[in-house]
Amino acid sequence: MHTKLQRKVPYGVLAIFLCGMPFAGAAQTSDEIVAKVLAARGGLEKAKAVQSERITGTIYFNPELYGPFLAEFKRPGKMHNEVTIQNKTVVRTFNGKDAGWVINPFAGKDVPEPMSAEALKDAMNESDFDGPLVDAKAKGNVIELAGTEKVEGRQTYILKVTHKDGQVSSYSFDTKTFLLAKWSGVDSVNGETVTRETVFHDYRDVGGLKFAFELVSNSPGADVTQRIVVDKIELDPQIDDANFGKPHAPAAPPAASPASAPPGKL
């Protein structure tokens, strides 16, 4: 579930190895790995029982550029994200069906506009409440064991996921804990395809489920790093369905009061 933040969540993010000695998991299939991943997260039954989720925290682009974020999700596939930087708030919503909206004052979009077809496709994947590994066949996703790699010194299995819409992502899972160590894939930024990687740290238990409380994202070869630090995760909060519809335009700033005439100039 938590991989939605990379993304995004942005909320996305979002999260293998070959060593010189033999290891017992070498012959495992992708289905066996998925089963262990779901068990490590807290179990499929417990995860599917969650109907809504709210994540709050801080997103950092550099030491001077950071701000609070909010990510809300609700079954089936509804999403509401907010990020506030320099007193400007970017809002993204998806109604769980076929419509999404964006407010992005940094791009001169101060009123809600419909998502582009590409952004809508991203939102559909991002708002998948359980993630692409759960009920993969029913969703039209194809999962393959793509090998192994080391992620920050941790040995991991790589699961390659080809989504129904053709998007491809890779998920690297720790071979000992089976928790997500890294996600990699592509995003569309201003019409350009950008490769992204997100590594996951600081796993904590919330309601019997494991969540990463720190996500660090970057583009390989680029200097820009995005860091998300989660403050709080709420399971099954009450969220009005209106939050996932067309957002309200931000209120206009109050008009400045007329300047007083200088003394002696009346």
Query: What pLDDT does 165 receive?
Result: 85
| The pLDDT value given to residue 22 | 33
Q: What is the pLDDT of residue 127?
A: 85
Structure pTM? 0.81
pLDDT in tens, the chain (266 residues): 444 544 444 434 333 222 333 333 445 899 999 999 999 999 999 999 999 999 999 999 888 899 999 999 999 999 999 999 999 999 999 999 889 999 999 988 899 999 988 888 888 888 888 999 999 999 999 999 999 999 999 999 999 999 888 889 999 999 999 999 999 998 666 667 778 899 999 999 999 999 999 999 987 666 778 999 999 999 999 999 999 999 987 665 444 444 333 334 33
pLDDT at 210: 97
Reported as type and span, the H/E element at residue 31 is: helix 30-41
Please enumerate, as own/partner, the contacts of 246-255 that have beta carbons within 8 Å and a separation of 24 or more. Answer: 246/93, 246/99, 246/101, 246/112, 247/80, 247/91, 247/93, 247/101, 247/103, 247/112, 248/112, 249/103, 249/110, 249/111, 249/112, 250/89, 250/103, 250/105, 250/110
Task: Determine the residue type at 161.
Answer: V
